[in-house]
Chain A
Amino acid sequence: MTTKYDVLIIGAGMSGMAAGIRLAMFGKTVCIAEMHSLPGGLNSFYQRGSRKFDVGLHALTNFVKKGTKGHPLSKILKQLRIRYDSLQLKEQKSSKVQFRDLEINFSNDIELLISQVAKNFPEEVDGFLELIKNINIHKDLLPSKDFKSARQFVGQYIKNKMLEDMIFYPILFYGSSTEHDLDVNSFIILFQSVYLEGFSRPMGGVRTIIDILLDKFNALGGELRYRHKVEKIVTKNSKVQGALLNNGEMIEADYVISSIGYPETMSLVESQQVTTPAVGRISPIETIFIFDKKPAQCDIDSTIIYYSNQDRYNYQKPTTAIDETSTSICLPNNFSDCEYDEGVIRLTSLANFDLWDSFKSTEYKAQKQKVVEHSLETLKAVMPSLNGELKFQDVFTPKTIKRFTGHMAGAVYGSPDKLPDGLTGIENLLLCGTDQGLIGIVGTLLSGITISNMHILTRDWKG
């Protein structure tokens, strides 16, 4: 059987849905093929009993107040025709980076971070202000194709290596596909989205965003097929023809936009000359705890804590199953409002995909239990006042991520080889999402929008 569309999109993650909405809005016939039975991809959700959980979402970065002009958040809202209020954003209280006992707090007001740097690293504050000034001059920056070191850029302003690591921690953690360092453009984009804009959480979690996107896409007449895996991207003379699905169906399309990653996409193309992009090394493991008390009842007010038990932060694939030196702890109850009536705590650490992939079932279970114990110990060290009763626990591993999202090696931030222009080298086969180089919910939504605008809508329109 063959069906024909203007555009076939592979994957119903954030970027795929955004691309679908844009294209359907301007009259394209669009089909999204999603292998999973749920939308959202890396930012999905699941349910255990009556409890609802988010898979990705610690925080929606890029927070700005309603009416603030010229920021990525307002850009995507306009492009997707979404009302600000419908996201029901609840701001973070404040978050902190904590290395052993030294902590630096930050919030959606950059002044807090500046005052914290002044207090803890008085000799660095002038440099820090200068750094902010030099980041502020950039607007609408795109990820660059050639890697330039962000460490080198920041080193011009910050001399203290511990402070440097503290600044880098949330940034690397929310969006670097490369270890230790990242490209300077990506650093600037993420610095703006984390420190100069800020964190919020939609009431209801990531579902709130996904529901809005799905409603839009459906209302525009888009077609979304769950449990339809693309097995092969079909090309002829280096031009895309469509794709073959796991049910044997051939979908013909003028354009194919893939959101599944660069190496993942190329592995589906049957051709001798395709490139083989590198597979990313960064994959997380997450423990979710539910307590009968909310953190605030135990005098814990931080929204996210980026913790390291060293003076430095090692953002790299650990040689052990889990990186035991650092964990980021997200407390969704500590956004200004939250629907959870129990205390929810999520601990996310870097993990080694190969090891998790090699564990056989009993070993896998035992290793997961070890992670739970390690997470409880970390909680004791970081928040000794926490005293609720543990009601529920769950762990997802790099292997879970690979299984549910198809990302090779469970690499959440994709390949270190990015394609900022989305062009794969095969005519009309475009890449959007993580491996275009924009990361996170806001980043990947923007990616789906930009790739559709740049290569299909405007091209079309220019004739």
Chain B
Amino acid sequence: MEMNTEVVDVRKAVVDIISDIALDEDLSEINDGASLRDQLDLDSMDFLDIVMELKKRYKVEVPSEDYPQLATLESCVRYLSPKFCQ
């Protein structure tokens, strides 16, 4: 169960960041398994903002070679969860 609440929190952290960037997007219907870029109006500048917000809010660092790990919400959670635990 513990594992599970963590998964939810990381997802929420990422969704909160995206909704603060793309203020006009509706994130309630987002498909966790599908590409964020295809579903939302996010470009590379916005992904950089997600990374910078992760650092600012949670001190979580994402090196540029790991950007592809942020492609979907699912992959975000998978990739970021261990980093949030540290």
| Chain B residues whose CB sits within 8 angstroms of the CB of A449 once the complex forms | 45
Question: How many angstroms from the CA of A77 to the CA of B55 in the assembled complex?
Answer: 22
| B46 pairs with A26, CB closer than 8 A | no
| B52 pairs with A77, CB closer than 8 A | no
A23-57: CB near B (< 8 Å → 1, else 0) gives 00011000000000000000000000000000000
| Chain B residues whose CB sits within 8 angstroms of the CB of A458 once the complex forms | 48
| B24 pairs with A79, CB closer than 8 A | no
The tally of residues in B whose CB lies under 8 Å from a CB in A reads 17
| B43 pairs with A83, CB closer than 8 A | no
| A26 pairs with B41, CB closer than 8 A | no
Whether B21 sits at the interface, judged by CB under 8 Å, is yes
Q: With A69-B41, A70-B43, A74-B41 as known contacts, state yes or no: A461 contacts B21, CB within 8 Å.
A: no
Whether A66 sits at the interface, judged by CB under 8 Å, is yes
Quote the shortest CB–CB distance from B21 to chain A (angstroms): 5
| Chain B residues whose CB sits within 8 angstroms of the CB of A69 once the complex forms | 41
Quote the shortest CB–CB distance from B56 to chain A (angstroms): 6
| Chain A residues whose CB sits within 8 angstroms of the CB of B51 once the complex forms | 461
Quote the shortest CB–CB distance from B63 to chain A (angstroms): 9
Chain A residues touching B, range: 20 to 34
Closest to A83 in B: B23
| Chain B residues whose CB sits within 8 angstroms of the CB of A462 once the complex forms | 64
| B21 pairs with A453, CB closer than 8 A | no
Interface residues of A in 59-75 (CB under 8 A from B): 66-67, 69-70, 74-75
| A81 pairs with B20, CB closer than 8 A | yes
Whether B34 sits at the interface, judged by CB under 8 Å, is no
| Chain A residues whose CB sits within 8 angstroms of the CB of B52 once the complex forms | 26, 457, 461
| B41 pairs with A66, CB closer than 8 A | no
Partner of B48, one of A82, A83, A140, A453: A453
Q: With A27-B56, A461-B55 as known contacts, state yes or no: A70 contacts B24, CB within 8 Å.
A: no
Question: How many angstroms from the CA of A458 to the CA of B44 in the assembled complex?
Answer: 12
Closest to B62 in A: A461
- Overall SS of chain A's interface: helix
Quote the shortest CB–CB distance from B64 to chain A (angstroms): 7
| B64 pairs with A79, CB closer than 8 A | no
The residue among B20, B23, B46, B56 with the most chain A CB atoms within 10 A of its own CB is B23
Question: How many angstroms from the CA of A361 to the CA of B19 in the assembled complex?
Answer: 56
Whether B22 sits at the interface, judged by CB under 8 Å, is yes
Closest to B21 in A: A78
Question: How many angstroms from the CA of A74 to the CA of B64 in the assembled complex?
Answer: 24
Question: How many angstroms from the CA of A106 to the CA of B33 in the assembled complex?
Answer: 43
Whether A392 sits at the interface, judged by CB under 8 Å, is no
Whether A84 sits at the interface, judged by CB under 8 Å, is yes
Whether B9 sits at the interface, judged by CB under 8 Å, is no
Chain A positions near chain B (C-beta within 8 angstroms): 26-27, 66-67, 69-70, 74-75, 77-79, 81-85, 140, 449, 453, 457-458, 461-462
Q: Can you pick out 29 interface pairs between chain A and chain B where the beta carbons lie within 8 Å of each other?
A: A66-B24, A67-B24, A67-B41, A69-B41, A70-B43, A74-B24, A74-B41, A75-B45, A77-B23, A77-B24, A78-B21, A78-B22, A78-B41, A78-B42, A78-B46, A78-B49, A79-B45, A79-B46, A79-B49, A81-B20, A82-B23, A83-B23, A83-B24, A84-B23, A84-B24, A85-B24, A449-B45, A461-B51, A461-B52
Chain B positions near chain A (C-beta within 8 angstroms): 20-24, 41-43, 45-46, 48-49, 51-52, 55-56, 64
